[in-house]
């Protein structure tokens, strides 16, 4: 809905100049729609059952809409807008009856198909705390009041937007500063490894699986393991997956390597349970690449591996990132449904990094959300990262899903996550990814309770066998 730009009486001077400069650094104004921002407005609308949701940013004279749900709006005059009220109040605004606010658009805020009787708005701030825009819900069910936890949820969603803006700003800076590599350097980087190297590594059994424990944060009991592939090269030593998985994806070798990983994980589960039948409740999770997920007959392949190994389906978990699921929603739902019918656990890995998953999460038959380590690592840096983690945990609770926090490295993060109600976690604070022999030692501990911190030498002494 285009609007004539008009001069306003907003705050002026150095503070306003700094605000406009911070806004400019995001390069958000007059940009195309983006699924990450649209996901937040849709999630907001679903959570609050709002008639319309607007995510807007204000420059010197207008309130420009980056994303909306419901009423189609692109631009409004800044004078009399919700933004000016939020800016003046320096915080959230809740107006249950707009007729009592005559200074807001002359007492009537009108979106084409509805007369707005109520709204609530939370500020979207820059990293320095300056208000750049607002996330506003109109005509929500709570028309006469908004509970404190609802207002906090709206603020948390606005903080998600702020995190997206900060990522956008950092990405712009990185692109501007990234040095260009010379062609000889690029060619040198491409020489190793090659597809042939990967094929040789697979044929000669150079790949191994390391395992990182997932623990119950309240008891420190090992409840599962994540299988992580490594390459043990005879000359170059242990090679990180970051150095060969991209090539495996591009060359198509990810399919045979992924098949080996699934088969090896199932074999290892069988071996652990044979040694100690009480381990039948242990779940081992294997990461699926986008290519593996989109292959024909994935569920049939997984079922065949389960039959071949003789393990229970509940002992196997499959982890997927949202990038594997979002491009083709219909196919993703069919594949997830067929895997769910087998009884395997389904986990969404690196949750929060793309945000497009927010709007689709309720549609997927996912059992577990894994909070990305980047959010966990910033939890102690301020209220905004902490609110993001709190919001994800609350979303999972509402949707009946479990949560695993990744990348826990400090006691402070551990205690914060427990206080927020996160049940499970993994990270260097408890145990790094380790070879089968070391994991077997940990699994032999009484009750599978991890000492804190883990000292494998002590574990070896306690369990000499």
What would the pLDDT profile of 219-261 be if each residue is shown by its tens digit?
999 999 999 999 999 988 899 898 999 899 888 899 999 999 9
Place of tokens 């699921």: 325
In the structure encoding, which two tokens stand for residue 91, read together?
A: 């915080």
pLDDT band at residue 217 using 50, 70 and 90 as cut-offs: very high
What confidence category does residue 464 fall into, taking pLDDT thresholds of 50, 70 and 90? Answer: very low
Tell me the per-residue pLDDT of 350-384, one tens digit each, with 9 for 90 and over.
Answer: 876 654 456 667 778 899 999 988 889 989 888 88
In CATH terms, 192-462 corresponds, of 3.20.20.450, 3.30.70.20, 3.40.630.30, 3.40.50.170, to: 3.20.20.450
- The arithmetic mean of pLDDT across residues 76-87, rounded, is 87
pLDDT at 161 exceeding the cut of 80: yes
How many C-beta neighbours within 10 Å does residue 340 have? 16
For residue 404, give the nearest of 368, 367, 428 by alpha carbon: 368
| 306 has a pLDDT exceeding 50 | yes
Beta-strand relationship, 119-125 and 222-233: unpaired
SS3 for 239?
strand
Give Cβ neighbours of residue 454 (< 8 Å, ≥ 6 apart).
Answer: 430, 431, 442
Give me the DSSP letters along 56-76.
EEE-SSEEEEEEEESS---EE
Q: Which CATH class is domain 14-176?
A: alpha beta
The enclosing H or E element of 331 equals helix 329-342
Per-residue pLDDT for 283 more than 90?
Answer: yes
> b/e map of 11-36 (b: 16 or more CB within 10 Å)?
eeeeeeeebeebbebbebeeeeeebb
Whole-prediction pTM: 0.63
> Which one, of 459, 403, 412, 390, lies nearest residue 431 by Cα?
459
Q: Where are the domains of the chain?
A: 14-176, 192-462
What does residue 205 show for φ and ψ, rounded to 5 degrees? 55, 45
Note the helical H segments in 13-124: 14-26, 35-48, 82-89
- Give the three-class secondary structure for 441: helix
Quote the DSSP letter at residue 216: E
Complete DSSP assignment for 264-295: HHHHHHHHHHHH-GGGGG-EEEEE--HHHHHS
Q: Give the pairing type, strands 52-58 and 114-115.
A: unpaired
Residue 254 has which token pair?
A: 């990810």
Whether the CB-CB separation of 266 and 316 falls below 8 Å is answered with: yes
Lowest mean pLDDT among 147-151, 216-220, 317-321, 385-389: 147-151
Q: How confident is the model at residue 104 (pLDDT cuts 50, 70, 90)?
A: low
How far is C-alpha 423 from the chain's CA centre? 17
Residue 362 CA to residue 366 CA, distance in Å, equals: 8
- Do residues 161 and 127 make contact, with C-beta atoms less than 8 angstroms apart? no
Average pLDDT of 12-31? 88
């Amino acid at each position: 809905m285009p609007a004539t730009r008009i001069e306003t009486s907003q705050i002026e001077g150095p503070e306003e100049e700094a605000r406009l400069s911070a806004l400019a650094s995001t390069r958000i104004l007059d940009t195309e729609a983006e699924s990450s921002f649209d996901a937040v407005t849709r999630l907001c609308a679903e959570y609050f059952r709002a008639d319309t949701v607007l995510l807007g940013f204000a420059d010197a004279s207008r309130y420009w809409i980056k994303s909306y749900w419901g009423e189609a709006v692109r631009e409004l005059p800044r004078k009399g807008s919700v933004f000016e009220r939020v800016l003046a109040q320096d915080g959230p605004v809740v107006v249950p009856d707009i007729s009592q606010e005559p200074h807001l658009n002359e007492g009537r805020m009108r979106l084409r198909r509805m007369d707005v009787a109520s709204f609530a708005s939370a500020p979207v701030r820059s990293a320095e705390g300056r208000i750049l825009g607002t996330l506003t819900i109109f005509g929500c069910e709570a028309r006469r009041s908004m509970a404190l936890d609802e207002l906090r949820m709206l603020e948390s969603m606005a903080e998600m937007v702020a995190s997206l803006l900060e990522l956008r700003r950092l990405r712009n800076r990185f692109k501007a500063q990234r040095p260009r590599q010379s062609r000889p350097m690029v060619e040198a980087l491409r020489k190793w490894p090659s597809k042939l190297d990967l094929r040789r590594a697979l044929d000669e059994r150079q790949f191994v699986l390391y395992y990182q424990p997932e623990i119950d944060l309240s008891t420190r009991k090992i409840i599962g393991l994540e299988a992580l592939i490594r390459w043990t090269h005879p000359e170059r030593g242990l090679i990180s997956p970051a150095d060969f998985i991209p090539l495996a994806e591009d060359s198509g070798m990810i399919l045979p390597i992924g098949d080996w990983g699934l088969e090896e994980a199932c074999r290892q589960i069988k071996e652990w349970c044979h040694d100690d039948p009480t381990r039948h409740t242990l779940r081992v999770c294997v990461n699926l690449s986008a290519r593996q997920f989109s292959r024909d007959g994935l569920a049939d392949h997984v079922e065949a591996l389960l039959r071949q190994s003789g393990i229970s389906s509940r002992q196997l978990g499959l982890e997927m990132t949202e990038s594997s699921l979002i491009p083709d929603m219909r196919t993703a739902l069919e594949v997830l449904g067929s895997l769910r019918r087998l009884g395997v656990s389904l986990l969404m890995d690196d949750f929060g990094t793309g945000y497009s998953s927010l709007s689709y999460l309720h549609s997927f038959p996912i059992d577990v959300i894994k909070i990305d380590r980047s959010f966990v690592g910033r939890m102690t840096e301020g209220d905004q990262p902490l609110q993001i983690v709190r919001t994800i945990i609350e979303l999972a609770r509402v949707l009946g899903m479990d949560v695993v926090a990744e990348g826990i490295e400090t006691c402070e993060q551990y205690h914060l996550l427990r206080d927020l109600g996160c049940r499970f976690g993994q990270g260097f604070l408890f145990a790094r990814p380790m070879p089968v022999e070391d994991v077997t030692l940990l699994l032999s501990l009484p009750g599978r309770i991890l000492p804190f911190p883990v000292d494998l030498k002590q574990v070896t002494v306690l369990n000499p066998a």
